[in-house]
Structure 1
């Protein structure tokens, strides 16, 4: 997914421009640090103390120039209007967050307000149109049947969360002034892999296959996750 995001950034902003990035639900800071290493100024918002601690620990191991480009704020993605002025960022990331929000429309509208004109909104969501794939490919036929025509599922942390449909988010992005520009599938072939599975010997081929499938119909439509990119008008 990092390559997809870089592709969208490269296609939208001049080469070498140092972007103002907001990472909502930054987790342990993997994406924030990656972008800071490439010269961008990143503000991360996270509410979980364990994730904030992990992000700060990772940041502490970076050179001072990179540390100075990352700011961490303890808070909720729905409170961006409290911390920032409208139009404060060129790129807003919201990866793996919407599934924990029961009614995401207000959150999405708030994120769009944070974008400067021409700014990029990057979303990573669970694909509601493919919820039967994981149990089906695992041989859990009852689970697969239950997954049809639903928006809810139990994630690998054992939490009951929700998924989103591409058509619904496309309409939502249009309604908040950041219409969908492109979308990709993520984890087309690898969603059933164990969390502790080691890297295979043919990792490069696996990544190439996932990358190709993630941008090719009909494969991307049944990916476990969807990566959507909207642009502020």
Structure 2
């Protein structure tokens, strides 16, 4: 997925938030690490809380926020999706980001429930996930046909020794999101 396509989708959602109320949009970025999404969103006027387990990534986030002049719009919280309800008030975010997170969590339904719980009524949850078929095509083009077959055959789209717990296809992602009570409005990639 190209970052500009994601940014366009996020900008569209945030424009809708701004039409609904005058206060700055509140964003929770789970696994937001060094602020790749948080700092630009803060620069666009959002109040962003980044929840990440890595103190090093959060230190980088804070440095980047200061350099961009948006430190007052960014809050860094050490933690992960398992404890999100303890770290962020329920229903407090207009937009919840879970970009590059769902592939790594131990309990996918619980993680999605935490993301959904942080979003206010009428809010949105944005997820970016590893695409099983992209990885498959990559392996085929590299001549790694055994790995490609493994990605296709494995129920979670994993390879032996894989750092990812799962890769998604459209059906598995839709199913997981629906089970968490989330409606899919836009699917790209």
Q: Deviations over 1:157-216 (max 9, x none)?
A: x7343212322221332233321111111xxxxxxxxxxxxxxxxxxxxxxxxxxxxxxx
Greater Cα offset, 49-58 or 159-168 = 159-168
Identify which of 49, 54, 60 aligns with 2:66: 60
Give yes or no for the alignment of 1:7 onto 2:12.
yes
Any stretches of 5+ residues in structure 1 without a counterpart?
Answer: 186-233
Within 5 Å, give how 1:98-113 maps onto structure 2: 98-113=102-117
In 1, Cα distance between the equivalents of 2:63 and 2:187? 33
Identify which of 41, 44, 48 aligns with 1:38: 44
Q: CA deviation at 1:143?
A: 2.0
Q: Say if 1:152 and 1:33 are closer, same or farther in 2 by CA, change over 3 A.
A: same
Any stretches of 5+ residues in structure 2 without a counterpart?
Answer: 1-5
2:136 corresponds to: 132
Report SS of the residue matched to 1:183: coil
Count of residue correspondences: 180
Report if the CA contact (8 A) 2:132-2:167 is conserved: yes
Within 5 Å, give how 1:58-97 maps onto structure 2: 58-63=64-69, 66-97=70-101
In 2, Cα distance between the equivalents of 1:166 and 1:145? 18
Higher helix share: 2
In 2, Cα distance between the equivalents of 1:96 and 1:160? 10
Higher strand share: 1
In 2, Cα distance between the equivalents of 1:168 and 1:142? 23
Report if the CA contact (8 A) 1:131-1:153 is conserved: no
Give yes or no for the alignment of 1:51 onto 2:44.
no
- TM norm structure 1: 0.70
Q: Say if 1:159 and 1:171 are closer, same or farther in 2 by CA, change over 3 A.
A: closer
In 2, Cα distance between the equivalents of 1:114 and 1:39? 20
Report SS of the residue matched to 2:45: coil
1:167 corresponds to: 171
User: After TM superposition, which residue ranges in structure 1, 4 or more long, deviate above 6 angstroms?
Assistant: none
- TM norm structure 2: 0.85
Q: CA deviation at 1:130?
A: 4.0
Report SS of the residue matched to 2:153: coil
Q: Deviations over 1:5-58 (max 9, x none)?
A: 223333565187620100000121110001000001000001112212221221
